[in-house]
Structures are given as structure tokens and as C-alpha cells.
């Protein structure tokens, strides 16, 4: 075993993943498609900890609580099973934006951890196997091992991985309305949706159709169609989530105001399309040449950042280790 460091970036889905058909293996009910970003990255170091009985997680310079550590240990158990090892480790992870700030996502976190841990345990994984491994940490993480636009096939344990898709060059204008941690996790909200929404089955079948249409639109480099499917599919997800019992609402008045502003921009001839994940922040999909104008138009609605397609998860050279937390766990 050796100490390793990896970096990965979050992704924003254009066809959303919402619902599992297998909770333990994190197999999605339907496929999805996303763009890995070139900002808001996570950097993670895995350090062998011989003689320790438990793993340690240090997040942004502080020892993490038991719940967060348990989730990391459950993931590392998959890595240990593949490696035939019982070795415990210290995981040191930093996000370029504060953790829980809406954009520091579990996708970049588990893509970076999967990449660093696979190397630390001397696993020789190809791209598909790495994506499958990241999936076991957080579903959307399997798309962050892949650069640019990625499709995640629903599949079974063997075939549920993400891979790159041909797509036109695009930008996203990220409008952060609220950087706070969300009240309910995607995982919990997703479970509640599948258990209680009367619309869930229709969501799953229609998502397969949206995905097929989206892959075709990407291959045709048809930005208008990509944008239309993106805005529609994201709103369908939020409608679905609102139909749970008790209801869950992630979009706020300010989020809706951004959707309205983007619709107005379209009336003036600028093609822009909104989407939002499980929170109030809105991401606007645009052609590269329109990014500045859209960012300017949305100034005042929240914190604005223009992002583009980013790299897949990658190992960093020795010397890139995340520094140890100052405080030690008893």
C-alpha cells in the first residue's frame, strides 16, 4: 500500500438520476447524463494507517463526525474486498468550496476517493471498473470519473457505469442562491419519492425516453434540443419530488425568478436553459459565446460562476497530499 492523492470535479445532470432499483449496489432505476465541470473540485489523499481498527476521515482540515466516517468506511469496505485487504486508512479531503455549500458534492467526493483508494490499495482498474467503484459511494459519482459529457447506463452491477458521450461544447452559468447545507439529503429524498409518489413509475419510464432523446441530441450537436430536454427533465424531477408524502420542495422563489429571467432571455434570442439539482441553486446551460451575456443578465440573482466541461477524476503526483488536520481524534 502507498499514500495517494486524487482530484475530481462535480457534475451537473442534464437528464437526472432520481431513484434506485437496488439500494445496496446503488443501481439507478433509469440512466442519466451529465457534464463534469472544470470548477469546484475535491482533492483527496488516502494514507495507510497500519494498526488502526477504524478509518479516519478529515474533511476540510477537521476530523469528520461518525456518520460521515461510517459512509466512507462502507465505501472503503468495497475497496478492501476487491483488494483482499483489511487495512484501515486516513482519508483527507478538501473541497474548493465549503462542504455542504450546495456545489461541494458527493459526486466529486466519491470520484476522488475511489481514484485515490484504488491506487492506494494497488487495484488496477480500467475506466469502467473505476466508474463502477465510484458508483458504490454515491450514484452520481460514477459520472465524475469521466471527463466532459457522460452517460450513466442503468444496467446491472457489471454494466452500470458511466462513459463519455460526443457532445457540442457548452458552458454553464451557476447561480448560487443559497450556499447552505440542504435540509434533506438526496439519498433520503430519493427513497421517500420512490416509496410515496404516485408518479414514480411514469418518471422512470419517461426518463429512459428522455435519455435516448438526449444522447441523440448530443451526437447531433443539437444545442437547442439538448437545452429543451434539460429544462423539461429537471422540472419533471422537481414536480416528482414535490409529489411525495410529505412533500419536499427544493426550489425557492428566487430559483423560480431565475427560471423566469432565463425564459425572458430566450424571448430576446439568447438560448439559455435552466436546471437545478436537489437544492435551490440554478444552473443555466448556454452556448460558449453566450456565457458572458447570460452571466451579466443574471447578476443580482445570486453568486455567479461560469463553468465549462472538466476533466475526469485523476491521480495527482507525489507532493500533492492534503495536509493533516491539526486536531487528532482521541
Interface with ligand DP6 (CB under 6 A): 13, 16-18, 26, 32, 106, 138-140, 186-187, 190, 277-278
Cβ distance to ligand DP6 smaller for residue 71 or 80? 71
CB 44 within 8 A of CB 322: yes
Question: What's the closest the beta carbon of residue 81 comes to ligand DP6, in angstroms?
Answer: 19
Distance of CA 251 to the CA centre of its chain: 18
Question: What's the closest the beta carbon of residue 327 comes to ligand DP6, in angstroms?
Answer: 28
Cβ distance to ligand DP6 smaller for residue 26 or 218? 26
Sheet (strand 171-176) strand order: 272-275, 282-286, 171-176, 303-307
CB 78 within 8 A of CB 91: no
Cβ distance to ligand DP6 smaller for residue 55 or 277? 277
Beta-bridge partner residues of 33: 15, 151
Cβ distance to ligand DP6 smaller for residue 24 or 53? 24
Question: What's the closest the beta carbon of residue 74 comes to ligand DP6, in angstroms?
Answer: 12
Question: What's the closest the beta carbon of residue 250 comes to ligand DP6, in angstroms?
Answer: 9
Sheet (strand 149-152) strand order: 11-15, 32-36, 149-152, 162-164
Q: Nearest residue by C-beta to ligand DP6? A: 139
* Block residue for cell numbers 424531477: 237
Cβ distance to ligand DP6 smaller for residue 13 or 103? 13
Question: What's the closest the beta carbon of residue 106 comes to ligand DP6, in angstroms?
Answer: 5
Q: Is 4 exposed, middle or buried (0-12, 13-18, 19+ CB in 10 A)?
A: buried
Amino acid at each position: 500500500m502507498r499514500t495517494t492523492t486524487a482530484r475530481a470535479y462535480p457534475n451537473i445532470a442534464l437528464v437526472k438520476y432520481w431513484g434506485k432499483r437496488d439500494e445496496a449496489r446503488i443501481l439507478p432505476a433509469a440512466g442519466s447524463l451529465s457534464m463534469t465541470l472544470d470548477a469546484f473540485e475535491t482533492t483527496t489523499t488516502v494514507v495507510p494507517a497500519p494498526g488502526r481498527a477504524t478509518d479516519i476521515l478529515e474533511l476540510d482540515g477537521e476530523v469528520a463526525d461518525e456518520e460521515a466516517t461510517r459512509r466512507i468506511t462502507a465505501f472503503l469496505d468495497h475497496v478492501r474486498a476487491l483488494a483482499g485487504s483489511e487495512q484501515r486508512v486516513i482519508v483527507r479531503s478538501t473541497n474548493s468550496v465549503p462542504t455542504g455549500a450546495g456545489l461541494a458534492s458527493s459526486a466529486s467526493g466519491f470520484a476522488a476517493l475511489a481514484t485515490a483508494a484504488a491506487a492506494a490499495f494497488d487495484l488496477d482498474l480500467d475506466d469502467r471498473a473505476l466508474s463502477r467503484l465510484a458508483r458504490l459511494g454515491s450514484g452520481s459519482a460514477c459520472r465524475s470519473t469521466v471527463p466532459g459529457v457522460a452517460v450513466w447506463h442503468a444496467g446491472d452491477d457489471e454494466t452500470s457505469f458511466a462513459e463519455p458521450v460526443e457532445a457540442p461544447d457548452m458552458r454553464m452559468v451557476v447561480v448560487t442562491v443559497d450556499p447552505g447545507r440542504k435540509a434533506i439529503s438526496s439519498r433520503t429524498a430519493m427513497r421517500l419519492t420512490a416509496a410515496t409518489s404516485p408518479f414514480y413509475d411514469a418518471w422512470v419510464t419517461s426518463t429512459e425516453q428522455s435519455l435516448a432523446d438526449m444522447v441523440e441530441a448530443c451526437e447531433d450537436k443539437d444545442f437547442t434540443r439538448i437545452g429543451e430536454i434539460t429544462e423539461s427533465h429537471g422540472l419533471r424531477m422537481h414536480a416528482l419530488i414535490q409529489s411525495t408524502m410529505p412533500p419536499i420542495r427544493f426550489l425557492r422563489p428566487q430559483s423560480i425568478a431565475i427560471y423566469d429571467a432565463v425564459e425572458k432571455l430566450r424571448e430576446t434570442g439568447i438560448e439559455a436553459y435552466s436546471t437545478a439539482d436537489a437544492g435551490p441553486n440554478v444552473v443555466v446551460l448556454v452556448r460558449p459565446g453566450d456565457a458572458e451575456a447570460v452571466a451579466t443578465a443574471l447578476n443580482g440573482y445570486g453568486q455567479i460562476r461560469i463553468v465549462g466541461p472538466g476533466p475526469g477524476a485523476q491521480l495527482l503526483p507525489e507532493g500533492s497530499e492534503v495536509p493533516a488536520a491539526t486536531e487528532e481524534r482521541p
